[in-house]
Amino acid sequence: TKPVDAGRLIDAIDRLTGSEENQPLRVLIVDDDADFGQQCVQSLEAAGMIARAIADPRETLEQLQAFQPDLVILDMYMPLCNGKELASIIRQQDRYVALPIVFLSAETNRQQQQSALSLGADDFLAKPISPSELVAAISARAQRARHIRRFLIRDSLTGLLNHQAVEEELAREFARAERLNQPLAIAIIDLDHFKRINDSYGHVVGDQVLRSFARLLQQRLRKSDLIGRHGGEEFLIALPNTSLVEARTLIDTVRSSFAALRHYGPAGMFSVTLSAGIAGYPQHRSQIGMMQAADQALYQAKREGRNRVVV
């Protein structure tokens, strides 16, 4: 047996206790009045949230990416870019469909307020606003948005990231690896002869196998690792700051643990194996190239007899 990696163990416990959900709500404020922005930050942080204010609306998309807020508060009138235009730009992006946008402005003209709402904003709050009014107006909305986001990015069978979410997160990790000049490894994992499992034991049992594999991944990988269900019985893993050699060792442990699991079918116990292909940055300098290399390695693992990991 291998020594236990304490970091991985703590991450796995964190994951199981669901601490992600209990993290403070995050709010981004875009207002050209930097003092007002800071007041909002203080009011929200006094209520236990994490808030960030920016005065330059041109930084909004970048900050949405980097800060990952649960809700965004926009000023209506700013030099350079007005709030309504900004709201419609945010709404044009699929990934932000569920992000609540709340205007906070001194605008009292009803028609202006309505036109802001019609562009996809969720609410209109009037300046001046007291700290308690502000907190009351946004906290329930932000909390609900976080729950909805969970549904949007998770696969309902396994609870892992879904196809689109894991690809988006991978793009972020790839960019980060380049920026920090750190290695990044990915693994594409495909369960072996899964059609036979379904044919022999039925879909319900097949689904149970997929769930138990997902649980095994969650127990073995770190919170900072990405785990996605990429397709039916295919999974995509990304391991930040991990070399190909380390990735191979880790995924091979996952492989042998999974092969040792016993599943229960109508006609007794059975086991399932997996094949995996690994590739990484900087060996591959584009995300597409890296994915293709992992795919080819997976194909080779299948060809060479399955139940193996190929780099």
Does the protein bind Mg ion through residue 270 (CB under 5 A)? no
HSE at residue 141, side-chain half, CA atoms within 13 A, is: 19
Q: Which is nearer to Mg ion, 127 or 154 (CB)?
A: 127
With contact defined as beta carbons under 8 Å apart, do 294 and 187 qualify?
yes
Q: How far is the CB of 160 from ligand GH3 (least distance, A)?
A: 12
Instruction: Give the integer Cα–Cα distance in Å for 278 and 285.
Output: 15
29, with CB counted inside 10 A (0-12, 13-18, 19+), is buried
Q: How far is the CB of 190 from ligand GH3 (least distance, A)?
A: 5
Interacting residue with Mg ion among 177, 190, 214, 272 (CB under 5 A): 190
274-281 β-sheet, strand order: 226-229, 234-240, 184-191, 274-281, 309-310
Interacting residue with ligand GH3 among 5, 20, 207, 304 (CB under 6 A): 207
Does the protein bind ligand GH3 through residue 198 (CB under 6 A)? yes
Residue type, 49: M
Point out which span in 60-68, 137-145, 194-202, 255-263 binds ligand GH3 (CB under 6 A): 194-202
Does the protein bind Mg ion through residue 75 (CB under 5 A)? yes
Does the protein bind Mg ion through residue 32 (CB under 5 A)? yes
Q: How far is the CB of 309 from ligand GH3 (least distance, A)?
A: 14
* Secondary structure in 3-state letters for 190-233: EECCHHHHHHHHCHHHHHHHHHHHHHHHHHHCCCCCEEEECCCC
Does the protein bind ligand GH3 through residue 52 (CB under 6 A)? no
Q: Which is nearer to Mg ion, 11 or 75 (CB)?
A: 75
Q: How far is the CB of 209 from Mg ion (least distance, A)?
A: 11
User: Which residues, in sequence order, are bridge partners of residue 127?
Assistant: none
Exactly one of 21, 62, 173, 233 is catalytic; which is it? 233
* 305 phi, psi to nearest 5 deg: 125, 0
| 304 included as an active-site residue | no
Q: How far is the CB of 196 from ligand GH3 (least distance, A)?
A: 6
Does the protein bind Mg ion through residue 77 (CB under 5 A)? yes
Residues numbered 217-256 forming contacts with Mg ion, rule: CB under 5 A: 234
Q: Which of 303, 292, 27, 281 is nearest to 139 (CA)?
A: 27
Residue type, 35: D
Per-residue binding string, ligand GH3, 120-159, x by CB under 6 A, is -------------------------------------x--
Q: Is 305 left (phi over 0), alpha (psi -120 to 50) or beta?
A: left
Catalytic residues: 233
Question: Which residues are at the interface with ligand GH3 (CB under 6 A)?
Answer: 157, 190-195, 198, 203, 206-207, 210, 232-233, 302, 306
Question: Which residues are at the interface with Mg ion (CB under 5 A)?
Answer: 32, 75, 77-78, 190-191, 194, 234
